[in-house]
Amino acid sequence: MSDNDSATASASIAEPDAPAPGRAAGLGLAGLGVLVFSLTLPATAFALEGLDPYLIGIGRSAAATVLAAIALLAVHLRSRSRAAAGSRGARDALVRPRGRQWAAVAVTASGVVFGFPVLTTLALDHGASSAHAAVVVGLLPAATAVLAVLRAGERPSLAFWLAGASGAVVVTGFAVIRGAGHLTGADLLLFGAMLAAAVGYTEGGRLTREMPGWRVISWTLLLAAPITMPVTVWLLATTGPQWTGGAALGFGYVALLSAYLGFFAWYEGLARAGIARASQVQLAQPLLTLLWSGILLGELIDGLTALAAVGVLVCVALTQRARVRNAPPPARRVRDGGSGSGRDGGRGGGTGPTGLAERDTRPHDGKESVTTM
């Protein structure tokens, strides 16, 4: 299979440091995703009042698949309409994964469709509190940054690692003081969920360099549909769900926002700001989760919580100031008689919102970043 078909080809898919405006926009989008995800654990706790944990973990993705199919179908019909009207570029409007990109989509699904949702729901069902479960998202940025180094070619500086590690220590220490330090079955489930999410976030973030983030999560859900849809139907028929008000609202939130719409902002943020840097914004997620737990579940928010929040915010600010270097792209061979130089071969690559919007109409050949930074 040629590099043209590969989502993980040797050509660089990450630019050197993004300009400040693009990076700031990426961090803002990542923050919006974190805000959505910070309510996932309290919403899951509400859903567990009347629903089976497997039904929540698998069923939320099945419900989100319906939304994904509708979104992709709407874009497809619009592209056909534009093509019939002779609109330029309409034929490329529906971007499907190609070649090895499907393998990357499958890896993403293993983490964000199956691994993290199922394991965190089981952990809560096994007695982990919302504060206890916050440990996993406290360690998640560090795990995501490590995988970004291994898979996306990003090379964080020592200052970046120290700031990120300090934030993870603050969050973990806070959770331990609150009683989350015992290694139980729920802890093992949360550790597995953290690894699964890190894999899904990293691979999904890589794919957003080649297609818009909302398409990545949409195709991820559709690829998993042959498993999630029949399993959900079977669980609905055999587990006796009790659709109380809290259970319905909790399930609706994790299906609509946590499993689908939240990834629109999150993956776009990873693509614009860089996987390692944007993932550090997630250090604030455990504190936000505790805030929602105090408001929605009645958990106490004391001085220790406020102190930990300040420590995490300081670490997040330091990670954003640290430089993140990307591996330089390999030199491209120029054929005899070829013209043009550089990695674009003379083609223009727009920056800013216009360039990003062109993702829906520009061909994706796997040899250049379609997210100009």
Q: Summarize pLDDT for 94-113 with one digit per residue, the tens.
A: 578 888 899 999 999 999 99
Instruction: Say if 250 falls within a structural domain.
Output: yes
At 338 the pLDDT is: 41
CA distance 138 to 127: 19
- Beta carbons of 39 and 246 less than 8 angstroms apart: no
Portion of the chain with pLDDT greater than 70, in percent: 75
Instruction: Say if 6 falls within a structural domain.
Output: no
CA distance 204 to 199: 8
- pTM equals 0.74
- Beta carbons of 11 and 327 less than 8 angstroms apart: no
Mean pLDDT to the nearest integer, 271-286: 79
Q: Give the helix/strand (H/E) hosting 325.
A: strand 324-326
Structural domain of 28 = 23-78+97-324
Instruction: Say if 11 falls within a structural domain.
Output: no
Instruction: Say if 122 falls within a structural domain.
Output: yes
CA distance 338 to 333: 10
Question: What are the two backbone dihedrals, phi and then psi, of residue 348, each rounded to the nearest 5 degrees?
Answer: -80, 150
Instruction: Say if 54 falls within a structural domain.
Output: yes
* Higher local confidence (pLDDT), 200 or 2: 200
> For residue range 50-69, what is the model confidence (pLDDT) as tens digits?
999 999 999 999 999 999 99
Nearest to 30 by CA among 203, 276, 279: 279
For the record, the structure tokens of 307 come out as 């102190």
In order of 107, 120, 177, 193, 198, the CA distances from 134 in angstroms are 24, 10, 13, 11, 15
Portion of the chain with pLDDT greater than 90, in percent: 34
Query: Is pLDDT above 80 for 43?
Result: yes
- How many structural domains compose the chain? 1
Query: Is pLDDT above 90 for 120?
Result: yes
Instruction: Say if 10 falls within a structural domain.
Output: no
Nearest to 210 by CA among 120, 95, 131: 95
Instruction: Say if 336 falls within a structural domain.
Output: no
Instruction: Say if 362 falls within a structural domain.
Output: no
> For residue range 212-256, what is the model confidence (pLDDT) as tens digits?
888 999 999 999 999 999 999 999 999 999 999 999 999 999 999
